[in-house]
């Protein structure tokens, strides 16, 4: 890789280091660890959540708490392997008390997500809940939109925490995730 490309951040681990040093918003003052995301650089599937919670803030890894355990179970039932997926969030640092990230925090953090998508160029991006659906596609209303695919690239489904609150949604959640199996085989040569 050219040194120039590297300095432009055209590399996932360099970008992760930048995120860990980030002070673009006030969340940098209260976080323990930034959570850039994890998974292979050549992942065909990406998953985007809202923001790290307490467990993620402590571990520096996404979806390792109760919502993460639910997500792992649902992925398993859908015939997907977490180790093949790049998992991240719209906002990379924990909002205190797990409040929703503000629009300013989302705006400050979005360039990181865009760059991750540019580097990985996945065939499918699963948006977990309203925050990523609004931040990326400008749409809202997961209950009506779940299971729908936008631009042959984005799949909207519930946030795992919403499934935890109402386990009656588990079956739909798993069937949404199963769509990613088909989507991942689409050619990823595309312009974003």
The residues that touch ligand URA, with contacts defined as CB under 6 A, are: 49-53, 56, 62-63, 65, 67-68, 89
Q: How far is the CB of 184 from ligand URA (least distance, A)?
A: 21
Nearer to ligand URA, 59 or 186 (CB): 59
State how far the Cα of 177 lies from the Cα of 175, in Å rounded to an integer: 5
Nearer to ligand URA, 122 or 129 (CB): 129
Q: How far is the CB of 50 from ligand URA (least distance, A)?
A: 3
State how far the Cα of 131 lies from the Cα of 143, in Å rounded to an integer: 13
The sign of the torsion formed by the CA atoms of 141, 146, 150, 153 equals positive
- Per the CB < 8 A criterion, the answer to whether 75 and 21 are in contact is no
Q: How far is the CB of 35 from ligand URA (least distance, A)?
A: 6
Nearer to ligand URA, 46 or 189 (CB): 46
Q: How far is the CB of 36 from ligand URA (least distance, A)?
A: 11
Nearer to ligand URA, 53 or 122 (CB): 53
State how far the Cα of 186 lies from the Cα of 123, in Å rounded to an integer: 6
Nearer to ligand URA, 98 or 143 (CB): 98
Q: How far is the CB of 51 from ligand URA (least distance, A)?
A: 6
Nearer to ligand URA, 103 or 185 (CB): 103
**Strand extents, DSSP E, 21-101:** 45-49, 85-89
Closest residue by Cα to residue 105 from 127, 128, 131: 131
Q: Which residue is nearest to ligand URA (CB)?
A: 49
- Per the CB < 8 A criterion, the answer to whether 15 and 66 are in contact is no
Q: How far is the CB of 22 from ligand URA (least distance, A)?
A: 16
The sign of the torsion formed by the CA atoms of 65, 182, 132, 23 equals positive
The sign of the torsion formed by the CA atoms of 105, 151, 43, 84 equals positive
């Amino acid at each position: 890789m050219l040194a120039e490309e590297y300095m432009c951040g055209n590399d996932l681990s360099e970008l992760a280091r930048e995120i860990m040093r980030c002070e673009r918003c006030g969340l940098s003052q209260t976080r323990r660890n930034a959570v850039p995301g994890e998974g292979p650089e050549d992942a065909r599937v990406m998953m985007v959540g809202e923001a790290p919670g307490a467990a993620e803030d402590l571990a520096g890894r996404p979806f390792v708490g109760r919502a993460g355990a639910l997500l792992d179970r649902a992925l398993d039932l859908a015939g997907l392997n977490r180790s093949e997926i790049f998992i991240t969030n719209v906002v990379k640092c924990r909002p205190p008390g797990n409040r929703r990230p503000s629009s300013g925090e989302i705006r400050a953090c979005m360039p990181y997500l865009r760059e991750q998508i540019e580097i990985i160029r996945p065939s499918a991006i699963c948006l977990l809940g309203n925050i990523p659906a609004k931040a990326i596609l400008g749409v809202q209303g997961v209950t009506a939109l779940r299971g729908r695919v936008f631009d042959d690239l984005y799949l909207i489904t519930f946030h795992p925490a919403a499934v935890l609150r109402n386990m009656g949604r588990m079956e739909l959640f798993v069937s949404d995730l199963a769509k990613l199996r088909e989507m991942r085989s689409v050619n990823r040569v595309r312009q974003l």
